[in-house]
Amino acid sequence: MMRVKSVRKRLSEIASGIEIVNHVGDQDTLIQGMVMDSRQVQPGDLYACVPGMNVDGHDFAAQAIAQGAAALLVERILPLDIPQLQVKKVREVMGNLAANLYDHPAAKLEVVGVTGTNGKTTITYLVESIAAGEGKKVGLIGTLGARIAGRELPGNRTTPEAIDLQKLLKEMVDEGVQLAVMEVSSHALVFGRVTGCEFDAGIFSNLTQDHLDYHKTMEEYLQAKAQLFSGLTGVKEPKVGVVNGDDPAAETLIRLSAAPVVTYGVNADLLDYRAEDILLTADGVKFTVRFKGGESQVEYSTPGMFSVYNALAAFAWGVESGRSPGQVREALAAVQGVPGRFESVRMGQPFQIIVDYAHTPDGLENVCRTAQEFTQGRLITVFGCGGDRDKGKRPQMGAIAEELSDHVIVTSDNPRTEDPRQIIRDILEGIEGIDYTANVNRREAIECACLLAKEGDTVLIAGKGHEDYQIIGKDVFPFDDREVAREALRRLGYVG
């Protein structure tokens, strides 16, 4: 559990500016930390009783007290002898309470938020490279965990919970970080995880189908994403929104943004940053970006049209935030790829193996089309869909894989509590006519693909990318697509 440098504040201090419904007990009680998981309580902590979908944090308040909690944040006063702050919605205020406790760390950083369905992780890496290229200490938060000036920290959410985010930002400040860039998921925005965090810039990549198990409609999904831009308010100036002008969501985001917005893209009219003279190769992308300040040649080492958009988004942010085009260009050229994003596995085999995180219809289509461009032989695609998640995208992804691949192997992703065989059946509803294989065992599916591959073929293993685990039921097992592919290649006699 993360424990930042010592803090000691009175309960009444950290409640400043918060709408308190009621309170009991000594409001001068000293608070030294804040948590929402009773198992992580340490002496002196404020325990936030968060009602959840399956469990209610109020039910664990006694356990938190036994472990040394000094006070409770509640939605109803509990019959317990301990200071309590009662609020209407714990989730809505705990970010601001944590920001008060940890001295508003976001106010001491340049904070960049990146949202969208696909491309968030890559764009954060590109922003990190741009800031680091000018000598700044940088913090990064996202799907791959967190990084503080190059030091890796584990994480299990794209965007940490509100309290953990404030702790992480405080740790960054304590270590001299000057800029923090983070992925901001739709769930994070809806659940208030970034409450108490003032952003200097928001970047939007794209909006395609995902998370409709929660948001229900694309409009609801869009409105969730838009909160990053409507929330570009506060005392830090100037602020800017950077939006993909080729995406249909751009008009809504521009209208709702509280800060000025610049657009980037390839096709739309009146773009502020436009990519032209695009060259797509197996080694990456090259293009000219034209903008109000002139033009610049950009190179980035990950192939695919999606890489043009990702690099263009980072370029636009860099220039709009005051960096020179030359420095931004050099920083983008220096990035050597992102783990699990169109990542090659090479052990001397005469065919390509690509591992990618593509887990949405749009993501799978993009990565399949990119792989097609550089495949002389057949494209063999291995993928599945996550359990307990948007079921509507499963047949769509099956249809996309069928259309763009020569052979499809449908397998498990993270089935979670669903029957993996049913998930596969859902995917197969979109597959008609093509020769396909179905195997619930992901390891065997990857091995099968490697056995089928001939010289000039490409094996695309999609869906999990950087992940080094597989979730089956409620258990987490070690599993890394890249390492499983290497093991299969070793058994075939390739040694790298």
> Nearest CA to 454 among 368, 352, 374, 367?
352
**118 is an annotated ligand-binding site residue:** yes
**38 is an annotated ligand-binding site residue:** yes
**370 is an annotated ligand-binding site residue:** no
> What end-to-end distance do the CA atoms of the chain give, in Å?
39
Residues 6+ apart with CB under 8 A from 156: none
**294 is an annotated ligand-binding site residue:** no
**463 is an annotated ligand-binding site residue:** yes
Cβ burial, residue 469 (10 Å; 0-12/13-18/19+): middle
**416 is an annotated ligand-binding site residue:** yes
**244 is an annotated ligand-binding site residue:** no
**117 is an annotated ligand-binding site residue:** yes
Q: What are the backbone angles phi and psi of residue 279, rounded to the nearest 5°?
A: -120, 115
**3 is an annotated ligand-binding site residue:** no
HEC letters along 9-29 = EEHHHHCCCCCCCEEECCCCC
- Alpha-carbon span 341 to 205, nearest angstrom: 15
**467 is an annotated ligand-binding site residue:** yes
**389 is an annotated ligand-binding site residue:** yes
Q: Which two tokens stand for residue 13?
A: 């201090």
On the CB side of 29, CA atoms within 13 Å amount to 22
**217 is an annotated ligand-binding site residue:** no
**263 is an annotated ligand-binding site residue:** no
Task: Count other Cβ atoms within 10 Å, centred on residue 266.
Answer: 17
**267 is an annotated ligand-binding site residue:** no
**100 is an annotated ligand-binding site residue:** no
What does the DSSP assignment read for 140-209?
EEETTEEEETTEEE--SSSS--HHHHHHHHHHHHHTT--EEEEE--HHHHHTTTTTT---SEEEE----S
411, amino acid identity: T
Neighbouring-strand partners of residue 462 = 356
| Helix count and strand count (H, E) for the chain | 16, 26
**122 is an annotated ligand-binding site residue:** yes
Binding-site residues for ATP sit at: 116-122
Binding-site residues sit at: 38, 116-122, 158-159, 185, 193, 389, 413-416, 463, 467
Binding-site residues for meso-2,6-diaminopimelate sit at: 389, 413-416, 463, 467
